[in-house]
Amino acid sequence: MRRFDFTDGTAVVTGAAGGIGAALAHGLARRGAALVLLDRDAAGLDAVADSVRATHPGRAVDTYVVDLADAAATGAVAEQVRDRHPAIRLLVNNAGVALGGRFDEVTFDEFSWVMEVNFRAVAQLTHALLPALKAAPGAHLVTVSSLFGLIAPPGQVAYAASKFAVRGFTEALRHELAADGIGVTCVHPGGIRTRIARDARVGSGVDRAEYEVGRQRFERLLTIAPQTAAEAVLRGVARRRGRVLIGWSARLPDLMARVAPAGHGRLLTALGTRGRTARTSAVSAPTATGSPPPG
């Protein structure tokens, strides 16, 4: 498969109001792509779009405000995007949300909210826009999973379940779409320097004081700039890589999971979280609200 050509086509990016999504918008504009940006944060989305337009005069930038937790709204906006932008050559499913708490500390509605945004919306948008991708020669699809699509620590059942689902969905699609000439990349970010830990929802049954201590510790591990992460993603797309791991905080756990598929959990517990502070871990893609989670 040839290298991906970013010019003469439209790139759709979700979770574009901040973090990796905003950095992807700027990176794609530099490479010559027209942009369609989605997020729930209208003010943040406008700020990113204005910044891209100011930096790249004449670059086409369209924005759509949507809460991806709402399946009907997601379907409606997908139809608008498909009808108004028939030349879609790149779809980046980047939006995601985080929730802290063990499975018995979160309500099932809270659990379902994470699955709706992080997985159902990814599958729904991909299904709706797949005809446009198939019609564009050399198109490409990106999904942003997480470090927690490689390992599943305690306190992150909802998040890990959603990101493992994204990983499996993407790997199967990669095989299915190869015959159509569509490249597929699954991204696993590590500790991206965003507001994810600060903005994550907290399960209804979680001790807030204990959570806050863990959150502050976890935030210190977020050292990778969103711009660095975005460039890694776009290099992976250009080279048609099937998988992109960003940072040692993704590569090392990936190695651990390969070497000790069932036993790496004990090492994770010993290394990092000491008790329940693990529940503060999250992902590194921007949230549906525009706030970017870590990876």
Return the active site residues: 159
H/E element, 64: strand 61-65
Rg (CA), the chain: 18
Residues 282 and 196 sit within 8 Å (Cβ to Cβ):
yes
Residue 204, Cβ density class (10 Å: 0-12 exposed, 13-18 middle, ≥19 buried): exposed
Residue written as tokens 């590590």? 190
Q: Residue 19's Cα: distance from chain center in Å? A: 10
φ/ψ of 25, rounded to 5, equals: -60, -45
Give the separation between CA 137 and CA 150, rounded to whole angstroms. 31
58 SS3 class: coil
Give the separation between CA 205 and CA 115, rounded to whole angstroms. 19
Q: Residue 267's Cα: distance from chain center in Å? A: 26
Q: Is 287 left (phi over 0), alpha (psi -120 to 50) or beta?
A: beta
Task: Name the maximum alpha-carbon separation found in the chain.
Answer: 54
H/E element, 188: strand 183-189
Q: Check the CA dihedral 125-147-244-63 and report its sign.
A: positive
